[in-house]
Amino acid sequence: MNPEARKAALRFLFAPLVDKLGYKFTPVEEDADFLLEQEAALEAETGIPYCPCQARTKDRAENMRIVCPCIPFHRRHYDAMKRCWCGLFVHKDVTDPDKLKQIPENKLDLTDAH
């Protein structure tokens, strides 16, 4: 499948999944397009639409936690940021994703305190 068609297919597949989790695609179309392109390339290479922003390891079980959309595996972390790690998905009420910060999980408690 050509990359553009696969990007469209991933969009179609992911939209209802993330909708049920309270998320939507980022309204920054350029970012969504770029990230989907990376995912389509990873999928073409590995057979799996891995996260374009998180490194794979040799541990298959660990790698399954970064198959897109990985929100269920990182719910607390992403809900606190109102975005997934890459920013491909944001909470449904987000209108300006540029205002959201990418916060490492181990820094969450500090940020939660404010």
Q: Is there binding between residue 97 and ligand SF4 (CB under 6 A)?
A: no
In the chain, what is the straight-line distance between the N-terminal and C-terminal CA atoms, in Å?
Answer: 47
What string of DSSP letters covers 81-101? HTB-SSSSEEETT-S-GGG--
- Contact segment (CB under 6 A) with ligand SF4 among 4-12, 78-86, 92-100, 102-110 equals 78-86
Is 81 an interacting residue with respect to ligand SF4 (CB under 6 A)? Answer: no
Told to check if 103 binds ligand SF4 by CB under 6 A, we report no
CA angle 54, 81, 90 (to 5 degrees): 80
Give, as ranges, the residues between 7 and 26 that touch ligand SF4 (CB under 6 A). Answer: none
**88 forms part of the interface with ligand SF4 (CB under 6 A):** yes
90 binds ligand SF4 (CB under 6 A): no
- φ and ψ at residue 28, rounded to 5 degrees: -80, 95
Strand partners, 83: 90
* Ramachandran bin of 23, using left for φ above 0, alpha for ψ from -120 to 50, beta for the remaining angles: beta
Please pick, from the candidates 69, 81, 82, 90, the single residue that binds ligand SF4 as defined by CB under 6 A: 69
Which stretches of the chain bind ligand SF4, using CB under 6 A? 35, 51, 53, 66, 68-71, 84-86, 88-89
